[in-house]
Structure 1
Amino acid sequence: MKKIFFLLFFHLSIIPFAFSQEARDIVKKADEKAKGKTSVASITIQTIRPSWSREMSVKAWTKGNDLSLILVLAPAKEKGVVFLKRKKEVWNWIPSIERNIKMPPSMMSQSWMGTDFTNDDLVKEASILEDYNHSFLKEVVIDGRSCYKIQLLPKPKSAVVWGKVIMDIDKKDFMMLHVEYFDEDGALINTMHCTDIKLLGGRLLPARMEMVPANKKGNKTVLLYNSLIFDTPLDDSFFTTQNITKVK
C-alpha cells in the first residue's frame, strides 16, 4: 500500500513539470520557426496615431537568440540608426551625432523609435525561453485556427520587462498569432495580433503584426514583413560594435 501511495504521489508531482516542459517546447518550436538558425528580413513599420502616422523601413539580421542587428533605412531623418544585441548587451549607433550608446536594462521597456513596440520587443533582450516559466492555460480558436494558450511568468531572478505574457500559438503550424503583455501588477499594457499568413522564406508565418496599447485609444503600430530569408550564413563578426557603423 505504501508503494502504491508513493507511486501515485510521484506521478502527481511530475505532472506540473511535464506540462510546463511541454508548454516550453511549444514556445520553443514557434520561436525557432520564426527565427531559423539565422534570418535576414526586410520590414516596414507603420506608426499610427489619431492625428498622424509615419512609416519606417528597416532591415534586420538575427543569429540564434544571442545576436541581432536592426538597421533603419528610412525615413531620411533616422537613416543609418542601428541597434545591436549581443547576448544581454544592447548598443544603439546614432549617425547624426556619431555616437554608439550602450543601452541599460532600464531602457528595454521604453518605446522603440516612437512606436508601440518596446526596445525589448524589437531587440529581444529578454529570452522567452530562458527568462520565463511556461504553463498551459487552455485551448482557444484564433482566426479559425486552433491554438494553445500559454502563460509565461518571469523566473525569480530574471530581469525582464513584462510581469506576465500570454501567447496563443497555432497547434498545427506553431505560429504565434496573439500575444498579450502585462505589467508586474497584472494590468494589460499591449496586445499583438498576427495575421496575413503566407510563405516567408519557405515557412508559413504571419506577415503582419499589429501592436495595440491598452490605454491609448487610436494608437497602434503595424509591422509588415516584405521579405524573410532563413539560414543564410552570418559570421559572428557581423554582430559587433566594430561593424555597427559600417552595416548597409
Structure 2
Amino acid sequence: MTVQDIIKAMDDNLNAKSRVLTSKMIVHGRRTSRTIESRNWVVGIDQAFTEYLSPPREAGTKMLKLFDKLWTYSPQTDRVIQISGHMLRQSVMGSDMSYNDMMEDRPLEEL
C-alpha cells in the first residue's frame, strides 16, 4: 500500500459525499467570549450552505458557497452580498477563521 493509497482511504473515511452538521465556535475577544452555533449542509467540496442559529445577534445570517463563489445574507439589513477575491480571506464573525476556511473542505490528497 502506497502513501497515496493511505491518504485516499483516509479521505474516503472522513469525507462523505454530502453531510449535515451542527457546530459551535467559541470566539475569544479582548473583553469577553461568545459562542456561535451554526448548521451546515455540504454537498461534495464545491457546494455548502450555512445558517447561524445563535447568538441572537447572528441568528438568521446565512452563507452560500457554489464552487468558487460565496454569498452572505444578513437579516438585519435584508441584503445579500457576494464575497470574492481578497474578501474571502477576511475574518468570519470576529474569529481567526476566514471565509475560505469556513466554507472549504478539500480532500487530503488535494493539499
Question: Is TM-score (shorter-chain normalized) higher than 0.5?
Answer: yes
2:50 matched residue in structure 1: 70
Q: Call closer, same or farther: CA 1:77–1:50 in 2, change over 3 Å.
A: closer
Task: Work out the CA distance in 1 between the residues paired with 2:12 and 2:107.
Answer: 11
Name the structure 2 match of 1:112: 92
1:1-248 aligned within 5 A: 22=4, 26=7, 28-124=8-104, 127=106, 152=111
Quick one: distance in 2 between partners of 1:110 and 1:30?
A: 30
Determine which structure has the larger strand proportion and give its number: 1
TM-aligned CA distance change 1:128 to 1:118, over 3 Å: farther
Q: Report the CA distance between 1:54 and its aligned residue.
A: 0.5
1:95 CA displacement: 1.1
Aligned residue pairs: how many? 110
How far off is 1:49 after superposition?
3.6
User: For the pair shown, which has the larger CA radius of gyration, 1 or 2?
Assistant: 1
TM-score for both structures, normalised by structure 1 = 0.40
Q: Secondary structure at the match of 2:89?
A: coil
Q: Which runs of no fewer than 5 residues in structure 2 stay unpaired?
A: none
Give CA deviations for 1:194-238 in whole Å, capped at 9, x if unaligned: xxxxxxxxxxxxxxxxxxxxxxxxxxxxxxxxxxxxxxxxxxxxx
Letter in 2 for 1:104: S
Q: CA deviation at 1:127?
A: 4.2
Kept in 2, the 8 Å contact 1:90–1:102? The answer is yes
AA partner of residue 86 (structure 2): S
Structure with greater helix percent? 2
Partner in structure 2 of residue 241 of structure 1: none
Q: 1:107 offset after TM fit, Å?
A: 1.3
> Structure 1: which amino acid aligns with 2:54?
A
1:115-146 CA deviation, whole Å, 9 max, x = no partner?
1111111111x84568x5xxxxxxxxxxxxxx
Instruction: Report the alpha carbon displacement of residue 102 of structure 1 after superposing the two structures with TM.
Output: 1.0
In structure 2, distance between residues paired with 1:66 and 1:32: 17
TM value normalised by structure 2: 0.84
